[in-house]
Structure 1
Amino acid sequence: MLGWERITPASRYQVRLMPTLAVTALGAGLLSPVMVGSQLLWLPAVEPVFLVPFFVALRFYRTGLYADRDRVRIRSPWRTRTVAMADIAEITSAPRRGDLHDPMRSDAFRIVLRTGETLRTPVRVHNPAEGERLIAAAYERDDFRRFGDHLRALVHNHGLDDEGKGEDPPLATLNI
């Protein structure tokens, strides 16, 4: 595997951000030149204000799990964390939040490190109780399981690759 592979492709909720990206970029381009009297002035101080929604939408769009040959990257809207595959003890899924009776409860991936630290990921199962007005890395349960199996296989095969006994799992199984 060369470079970073996105384990969890953009969910349908993340794809909805694409019009937001286009509109904010267009708005920043159109609104930065300002007419003052008969002169056209370009106000560079105003432009970054219009680009903030673009960068926020881009961060939400890029939320997910990525892997390269030796590392796993957990990218959430507000933080990115990279962990060596050798440091991963287990990949589990657990309730995202709430108690057993919370209708908004859904499973999310957890990465347990050999040190005992548990890292929460933003990748989760879509709960129909949340409705369709959602911006998240939320997937149907079957896709969620498939992504987990693929990530577990990558981590498991990591140690075998050095000995020439393992190989990357087929990527064709990730088609949605």
Structure 2
Amino acid sequence: MLKNTAISYGIVAKTFHWLLLLMLASSIVMGNLLAALPKGPEKLQAAGMHKSFGALLLALILLRLLWRLINETPKLPDSTTMVQAILAKGMHGVLYLLMFLQPLSGILMSQAGGIPVSVFGLFEFPILLDKNPGLAELARSIHRAVWILLVLATLGHVGAALHHHFIKKDHVLKQMTFGK
């Protein structure tokens, strides 16, 4: 089934979920490796790829959010308390916010640093602001902090899914996996 139902996520939502996890994890690793590279042509090339994947991530996050808005969301188990439901909704909101902030802060950092953002050499993001070293440094700080928060939020999300699967023994984790 392509679309979500009241009891499970559809193939589109599941694909977005797992693809974004892989791409975000790869981008975080790539960003940390990039930071460790000495200045030179290799670093510039790696930075270009990192920015391109960041732009692709931003597009996929937007598509995922759009898909989420036009599909129903599977119901939580009956055993879920109101507090747990609020926490789950809040955690998903935080994850979306962080997923948006990460590429947006990277784009802002580049543009405020006077460096255009090219997407795989196919096109460049429109320049929205003039070179501003102070703003570039602020965006760099946000970009660095957000990846840490994103990792922590993702670990919390994984922990909650595992809690549902192994402790509560309900269907929450199975809703987002491809198995039966």
Q: TM-score, normalised by structure 1?
A: 0.27
As a proportion of its length, which structure holds more helix? Answer: 2
TM-score by length of 2: 0.26
Structure number, greater radius of gyration: 1
